[in-house]
């Protein structure tokens, strides 16, 4: 049996981008045993990869954002390793982009493959196979309160999930909000949420815990950034539509083929060609791309596209009933 030390990237989006590599190894080798490696600092995302058809075992690295001797021992016994090994010092080395401006030539999926030593992924995999895939083994939406409160195997329907199914899952800030060129402004997001709220359309806000509030309307805006990442993803998948930038979270939702509006620009330095390089592929998404910044991005455009995607208002009766179920 051929053992393969799979991906070992330290960001959630990069892990998703690397998923097609697993399919690549399955096609290149007969019955391989694939370790899927996750850095400890993002171990909280491990449940996303449970029951994946191309993963045999998930490994959490021994160090926060690197590897220890135990990791090296496993990797050194593998037949294929998607990272460089320093045998003299018994270390797994970090990987780097060989070309600083790689995005002008390659997609994220092609680049992560190249960083893993794969230069023929486009020849081995079809376009469909190069789309990242996650297996949704869990229920979408909010967890049943009754299931938490009592020992029962009966699935209880939640009225709050009915509201969610009409509503928007908003992931406004890529890069924890620190990448200003990558995101529309705070005022822009607040204007968008305000327009939704005025039409009684509920917005659920997801992301990093310290993100700023986007509305004071407690009826039609709910911030859930204090939840763990996996819970945020599960709830988002119960929404009618997700809206966000080309963040790791939108890559995750894309791997589940969740309906999405992806707002993007060429935010990388000197990004002049191959402008959709960073966009997560998703057959159920629509990309709103604005070249060289978001100055021309209108709130009205995103609002109208959301309505066309089936987002609808929440009635007062729905809101009252949600408190009882």
C-alpha 59/C-alpha 68 separation (Å) is 12
- Provide the strand spans (E) within 259-306: 260-264, 285-289
Provide the pLDDT for residue 204: 98
Domains of the chain: 3-124 (no CATH), 145-322 (3.40.50.2000)
Q: Of all helices (H) and strands (E), which one includes residue 209?
A: none
Provide the pLDDT for residue 180: 76
- Provide the strand spans (E) within 227-299: 241-244, 260-264, 285-289
Q: Name the H helices within 5-158.
A: 12-17, 19-28, 69-76, 108-115, 121-124, 145-149
Instruction: Provide CB contacts within 8 A for 139, sequence distance 6+.
Output: 155, 234
Provide the pLDDT for residue 7: 82
Q: Is the dihedral of CA 292, 298, 304, 309 positive or negative?
A: positive
Tabulate helix, strand, coil % of the chain (nearest 5): 35, 15, 50
Average pLDDT for runs of 10 along the chain of length 325: 88 95 96 96 96 97 93 97 94 90 97 96 97 96 68 67 96 85 95 98 96 96 97 97 97 98 96 97 97 96 98 73 52
214 CB-side CA count, 13 A? 31
Q: What is the pTM of this model?
A: 0.94
Instruction: Provide CB contacts within 8 A for 308, sequence distance 6+.
Output: none
Phi, psi of 315 (to 5 degrees): -75, 160
Provide the pLDDT for residue 176: 78
pLDDT in tens, 191-203: 999 999 999 999 9
Q: Is the dihedral of CA 100, 285, 291, 179 positive or negative?
A: negative
C-alpha 237/C-alpha 40 separation (Å) is 25
Strand 85-86, strand 91-92: pairing: antiparallel
């Amino acid at each position: 049996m051929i053992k393969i030390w799979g991906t070992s990237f330290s960001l959630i989006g990069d892990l998703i981008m690397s998923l097609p590599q697993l399919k690549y190894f399955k096609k290149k080798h007969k019955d391989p045993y694939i370790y899927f490696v996750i850095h400890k600092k993002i171990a909280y995302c491990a449940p996303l990869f449970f029951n994946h058809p191309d993963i045999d075992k998930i490994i959490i690295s021994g160090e926060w954002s690197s590897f220890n001797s135990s990791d090296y021992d496993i990797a050194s016994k593998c037949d294929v390793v998607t990272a460089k090994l320093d045998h003299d010092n018994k270390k797994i080395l970090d990987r780097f982009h060989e070309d600083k401006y790689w995005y002008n030539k390659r997609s994220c999926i092609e680049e992560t493959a190249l960083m893993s030593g794969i230069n023929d992924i486009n020849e081995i995999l079809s376009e469909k196979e190069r789309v990242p895939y996650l297996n949704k083994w869990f229920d979408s939406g909010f967890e049943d309160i009754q299931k938490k409160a009592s020992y029962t195997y009966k699935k209880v329907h939640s009225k709050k999930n009915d509201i969610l199914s009409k509503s928007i899952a908003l992931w406004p800030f890529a890069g924890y909000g620190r990448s200003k060129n990558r995101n529309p402004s705070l005022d822009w997001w607040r204007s968008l949420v305000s327009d939704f709220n005025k039409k009684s359309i509920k917005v659920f806000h997801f992301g990093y815990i310290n993100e700023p509030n986007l509305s004071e309307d407690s009826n039609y805006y709910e911030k859930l950034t204090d939840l763990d990442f996996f819970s945020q993803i599960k709830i988002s998948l119960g929404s009618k539509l997700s809206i966000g930038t080309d963040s790791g979270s939108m890559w995750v939702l894309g791997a589940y083929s969740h309906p999405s509006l992806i707002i993007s620009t060429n935010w990388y330095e000197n990004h002049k060609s191959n402008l959709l390089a960073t966009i997560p592929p998703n057959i159920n998404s629509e990309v709103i791309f604005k070249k060289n910044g978001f100055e021309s991005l209108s709130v009205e455009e995103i609002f109208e596209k959301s309505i066309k995607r089936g987002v609808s208002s929440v009635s007062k009766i729905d809101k009252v009933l949600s408190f009882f179920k």
